Amino acid sequence: MKNTTETIQELKEEKDIVVLAHYYVDGEVQRIADYVGDSYYLSKVATQVPQKNILFCGVRFMGESAKILNPEKRVMMANALADCPMAHMASIEKIKAVRKAYEDLAVVCYINSTAAVKAHADVCVTSANAVKIVRKLPQRNIYFIPDQNLGRYVAAFVPEKNFILDDGFCHVHADLRADTIEQAKAANPSAQVLAHPECTAEVLALADYVGSTSGIIEFAGMSEAESFIVCTEEGVRHELEKNNPGKTFAFGDEVPICSGMKSITIEGVASAMLNLANEIQVDTAVSGKSNLALNRMLELAK
Ligand code: SF4
């Protein structure tokens, strides 16, 4: 009798499915994926793969982005209920009000947003490309939605622009506390602190490196340090330990866990593949407008 991993490998061939997984899902799920990465990498991969069907192991906004960029493909979620609370935090009414209040404004939307919100943005960004993209925008006023922490971090690198920050946040990263990071550092002074810019300014101030998930992985690989205190979702441990057998990675006393990402299992993957289930649908008008913002990101990030 076949095990779940063997079933998944067979279904990939049989049904022409490529499996994309985010670094935050369980290691067991990452192992059966064809591509593993952060939001920016996965959005690029989604436009390049030849398969007719894409199975997304991540939260809903990721599957929506893949569908918007590939309207002709079937995009399925490993778990239809896996969602990101921050994706729903930006308000379309507020975007309209800010557009009225400011001339020369660009609405810059973190990719962690619903398709409906992206449809009201001028450009999308990820944590890996936000600084680069905002610098290239001609507008002086930037309404950065929804993540206030990422927005504040980006603003510090682009002082020539006027930032209006939204009030959204990722509870997984925002809940990380500076005092617990300080305690971990005091217990292991040679450890380097690596933080995702969704963390608060107090946590970022303690970091030796701040960057996207892929940036954190790259930095840890190149660093000569042997131990690290990692301030992002715990799923990244899989890639960090795989790439760096001699190094140790701690995630603080309260290990940051994203319940949406952790709701994905290889059994769920196999079931969605078998039944071609959990297909993402995006309203055509919404898809057209959000496609502009996503493609502008891919263009400006080059
Ligand atoms: S880690 Fe935070 S931003 Fe990322 S999917 Fe989970 S809740 Fe959303």
Which domains are seen in the chain, by residue range? Answer: 4-83+262-282 (3.40.50.10800), 86-170+285-300 (3.40.50.10800), 176-255 (3.40.50.10800)
Q: Which two tokens stand for residue 159?
A: 């002082």
Q: Is 197 in the pocket of ligand 1 (CB under 6 A)?
A: no
User: Tell me: the pLDDT tens digits for 103-158?
Assistant: 999 999 999 999 999 999 999 999 999 999 999 999 999 999 999 999 999 999 99
Dist CA 75 CA 65 (whole Å): 10
Q: How confident is the model at residue 39 (pLDDT cuts 50, 70, 90)?
A: confident
Q: Which two tokens stand for residue 184?
A: 């971990």
Q: Is 83 in the pocket of ligand 1 (CB under 6 A)?
A: no
Strands 141-145 and 162-165: parallel
Quick one: pLDDT at residue 254? 83
Contact 268, 260 (CB under 8 A): no
Give the helix/strand (H/E) hosting 144: strand 141-145
Contact 184, 163 (CB under 8 A): no
Gap from CA of 260 to ligand 1 centroid (Å): 8
User: Tell me: the pLDDT tens digits for 187-197?
Assistant: 999 999 999 99
Q: Is 46 in the pocket of ligand 1 (CB under 6 A)?
A: no
Quick one: pLDDT at residue 253? 78
Gap from CA of 202 to ligand 1 centroid (Å): 19
172, 198, 216, 231: residue to mutate for ligand 1 pocket, most atoms within 8 A of CB: 172
User: Tell me: the pLDDT tens digits for 245-254?
Assistant: 999 999 977 8
Quick one: pLDDT at residue 40? 82
| CA separation, residue 39 to residues 126, 181, 191 (Å) | 7, 26, 27
User: Tell me: the pLDDT tens digits for 213-258?
Assistant: 999 999 999 999 999 999 999 999 999 999 999 999 999 778 999 9
| CA separation, residue 73 to residues 79, 261, 279 (Å) | 18, 23, 10
The atom number, within ligand 1, closest to the CA of 232 reads: 1
CB atoms within 10 A of CB 253: 10
pLDDT reading at 82 higher than 90: yes
The number of helices, as runs of H, and strands, as runs of E, in the chain is 16, 12
